[in-house]
Homo-oligomer: A and B are copies of this chain.
Amino acid sequence: MSSVAVFRREHFNAAHRLFNPAWDNDKNNEVFGKCNNPNYHGHNYELEVKIIGEPDIETGYVIDLKKLSDIIKENVLDRFDHKNLNLDTKYFTDLNPTAENIAIVIYNIMREKIDTKLDLKIRLYETDRNFVEYPG
């Protein structure tokens, strides 16, 4: 039987600042522009978690999306929602919180919680016009 992909979309609101601590302020401004605001700015992040596998014969589910939603809430939203990604989480102390890096961090968090027989992909919208996808 062929695989089916299921998607669950969640959102969180967070502040962040993009900069490389190894660079001086001029270099950071040149590269990151207004995203380097030392007082932070923020986004409504839309998170799309994609799980690929075979539907269970008895339920017709690849994964119960209610359970997937709970896993995302406990492991991602509770850590990131209404937080300052640079200051309030442990993930971006040495990692610039670009959309690319946030997606990789979320993938690594989720990968440990999802059955290894299921494939996982992460899509993260920073705005409607800027978004990223990480397939692991």
Residues on A facing B (Cβ under 8 Å): 2-11, 13-16, 18, 20, 22-23, 31-35, 37, 39-44, 55, 58-62, 64-66, 81-84, 87-88, 95-101, 103-104, 127-136
Please give me the residue from chain B that is nearest to A36 by CB atom. B82
Q: Are A4 and B103 in touch, CB under 8 angstroms?
A: yes
Interface of A is mostly: mixed
B22, B40, B97: which contacts A15 (Cβ < 8 A)? B40
Q: Is the CB–CB distance between B4 and A134 below 8 Å?
A: yes
Inter-chain CA distance A95–B59, complex, in Å, is: 9
Contacts of A11 in B (CB 8 A): 127
Chain B residues positioned under 8 Å from A131 (CB to CB): 6-7
